[in-house]
Structure 1
Amino acid sequence: MDLLRKNMAGLALLLFVFCSSAQAWTGEIRGRVVCDVCADSSVGPEDHVLEGAEVAVLCITKSGEVINYQAFTNSRGFYSVAETMPESDRWESCLARPISSFSEHCAIRGDKHSGVKFSYKLPSGQTHNVRSFLYKPTSAPVYCS
């Protein structure tokens, strides 16, 4: 029994050494989708978040791999994608773009750009915040005039 315990302890130590020598990297991309009620291209008190909006995030890693993520906004209008991978494969640059708002009242893209490109140079455990994506209603309320 003592020999078995020593072997198990040795195996555990060996696994610890191998696992701790591998450099893991974790990144997160976060953003928000908003209904720009007055279509004024800014987020104000009259605007509201869009739950269930779809966003695509495309990232290129240091090793050249292209990874495509799909995210949906929560009840507060936020989406996020996160990944843990070897440091050698970490994200190098990404593109976040809105796909659909899934709101029948606020479904027209409110900004001119089809997405946001950015370099991801943050250390492990840090979050890149993307500017809000805006949708506008088919017709603005009277109080917006």
Structure 2
Amino acid sequence: MGKLLIALFLFAYVTPCTVKAWTGEIHGRVVCDVCADGSVGPEDHILQGAEVAVLCITKSGEVLNYQAFTNSRGIYTVAETMPESDRWDACLARPISSFHEHCTHLGDGFSGVKFSYNHVSGYSHAVKPFVYRPLTIPIYCI
């Protein structure tokens, strides 16, 4: 009987408690609006290596700060798996910098995007594109 109690105790001690996990994802794109006309045209292109910061507040009140860089398609992604009780509640995504030498001026009205995150586990939130512009507009745009 003593060995059975010890075995049960050890099983209960080393078996992890199950906590319902939650996974969220935030993604967006960073582009260069070459003609600074506010529309996507054939002259515009994505910005690889652009830096984006994402700040989220969880349901439990914890503040999480993420840093992401765009890939070769101009897309950044932030993802996290955590207990359901700590899931994201609200987030702010904002562009930090563009490393493209000709497109470094942040477009008007694109300082950041605040949003509530109320997706169930496994779903993502798409943020509207962040837009950079060149300091001087090329002649072919005029």
TM-score by length of 1: 0.86
Equivalent position of 2:48 in the other structure:
51
Structure 1 residue 65 corresponds to structure 2 residue 38: no
CA deviations 1:21-52 (Å, max 9, x no partner) are: x1100000000000000101222221100010
For 1:136 and 1:70, locate their aligned partners in 2 and report how far apart those are by CA, in whole Å. 22
> CA shift at 1:141, angstroms?
1.4
SS in 2 for 1:74: coil
For 1:59 and 1:43, locate their aligned partners in 2 and report how far apart those are by CA, in whole Å. 29
> CA shift at 1:11, angstroms?
4.4
Amino acid at match of 1:30: H
> CA shift at 1:112, angstroms?
1.8
Equivalent position of 1:120 in the other structure:
117
Q: 1:83 aligns with which of 80, 85, 103?
A: 80
SS in 2 for 1:27: strand
SS in 2 for 1:93: strand
For 1:11 and 1:43, locate their aligned partners in 2 and report how far apart those are by CA, in whole Å. 60
SS in 2 for 1:84: strand
SS in 2 for 1:76: coil
Extract unaligned runs of 5+ from structure 2.
1-6
For 1:87 and 1:108, locate their aligned partners in 2 and report how far apart those are by CA, in whole Å. 39
Amino acid at match of 1:44: G
For 1:128 and 1:92, locate their aligned partners in 2 and report how far apart those are by CA, in whole Å. 12
> CA shift at 1:102, angstroms?
0.9
For 1:111 and 1:46, locate their aligned partners in 2 and report how far apart those are by CA, in whole Å. 19
Q: 1:106 aligns with which of 91, 103, 108?
A: 103
Amino acid at match of 2:76: Y
TM-score by length of 2: 0.88
- Residue correspondence of structure 1 range 91-102 to structure 2 within 5 A: 91-102=88-99
Q: 2:28 aligns with which of 28, 31, 36?
A: 31
Query: What is the total number of aligned residue pairs between the two structures?
Result: 134
Amino acid at match of 1:42: S
Tell me how large the CA RMSD over aligned residues is: 1.8
